[in-house]
C-alpha cells in the first residue's frame, strides 16, 4: 500500500427558500436528515445514528449493489443552532479508510431565505484518488437537501 496524503479544499454555497431554523433542522435532526443524506439508487442502509452536539457522533453505513460498503463516521465539535455546524469525519470503503475531513456548515440569512456555505478540508489517504468526487457528491447531497426542504 502506498502511504501518502493528498489535501483538497472546496467550498459550495446554496441558497434555500427556507428559514435558517428549517435548514438547520434538516442538517441536525435524524429524521429530517435521513430524507436527503443517503446513497440513492442501488444503496441499502445498514446503520444510521446521529447525535448533533459538541462531542456527539453521527454514523451512516450502507452497501451498494456491487457489494461495496461505505461508512461515514463523524464527530461534532461546534454546534450553534441556526448558524453553524463544525465536524470531522472519516470515510471508509469496506475496511479501508480513504479520507479524514474537517467540514464547516455556515447558515446566513439572505433575501431569498437562507444561504448555506459548506467548506471542507480533506486529507485523502494512501493513494485514494478523489479527483473531485467528494465535491461533486457534496453538491448532489445539497441538491437533495433542497428538494427535501421544498417537499
CATH code of the domain containing 88: 3.30.530.20
Lookup result for grid cell 478523489: 130
3-state secondary structure string, 48-79? Answer: EEECCCCCCEEEEEEEECCCCEEEEEEEEEEE
Q: What is the DSSP string of 16-35?
A: ESS-HHHHHHHHH-HHHHHT
88-93 mean pLDDT: 98
Q: Given pLDDT bands bounded at 50, 70 and 90, which one contains residue 96?
A: very high
Give the residue numbers spanning the domain of 77.
5-150
| pLDDT at residue 149 is higher than 80 | yes
Averaged pLDDT of the chain? 96
> 3-class SS at 42?
coil
Q: Number of folded domains in the chain?
A: 1
User: How far is residue 4's CA from residue 123's CA, in Å, rounded to a whole number?
Assistant: 10
Q: Indicate the pLDDT class of residue 74, thresholds 50, 70 and 90.
A: very high
Amino acid at each position: 500500500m502506498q502511504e501518502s496524503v493528498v489535501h483538497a479544499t472546496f467550498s459550495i454555497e446554496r441558497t434555500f427558500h427556507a428559514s435558517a431554523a428549517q435548514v438547520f433542522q434538516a442538517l441536525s435532526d435524524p429524521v429530517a436528515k435521513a430524507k436527503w443524506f443517503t446513497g440513492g439508487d442501488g444503496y441499502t442502509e445498514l446503520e444510521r445514528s446521529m447525535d448533533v452536539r459538541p462531542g456527539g457522533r453521527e454514523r451512516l453505513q450502507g452497501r451498494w449493489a456491487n457489494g461495496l460498503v461505505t461508512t461515514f463516521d463523524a464527530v461534532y465539535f461546534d454546534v450553534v443552532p441556526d448558524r453553524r455546524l463544525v465536524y470531522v469525519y472519516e470515510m471508509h470503503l469496506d475496511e479501508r479508510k480513504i479520507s479524514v475531513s474537517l467540514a464547516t456548515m455556515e447558515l446566513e440569512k439572505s433575501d431569498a431565505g437562507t444561504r448555506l456555505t459548506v467548506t471542507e478540508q480533506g486529507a485523502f489517504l494512501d493513494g485514494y484518488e478523489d479527483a473531485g468526487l467528494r465535491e461533486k457528491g457534496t453538491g448532489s447531497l445539497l441538491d437533495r437537501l433542497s428538494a427535501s426542504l421544498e417537499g
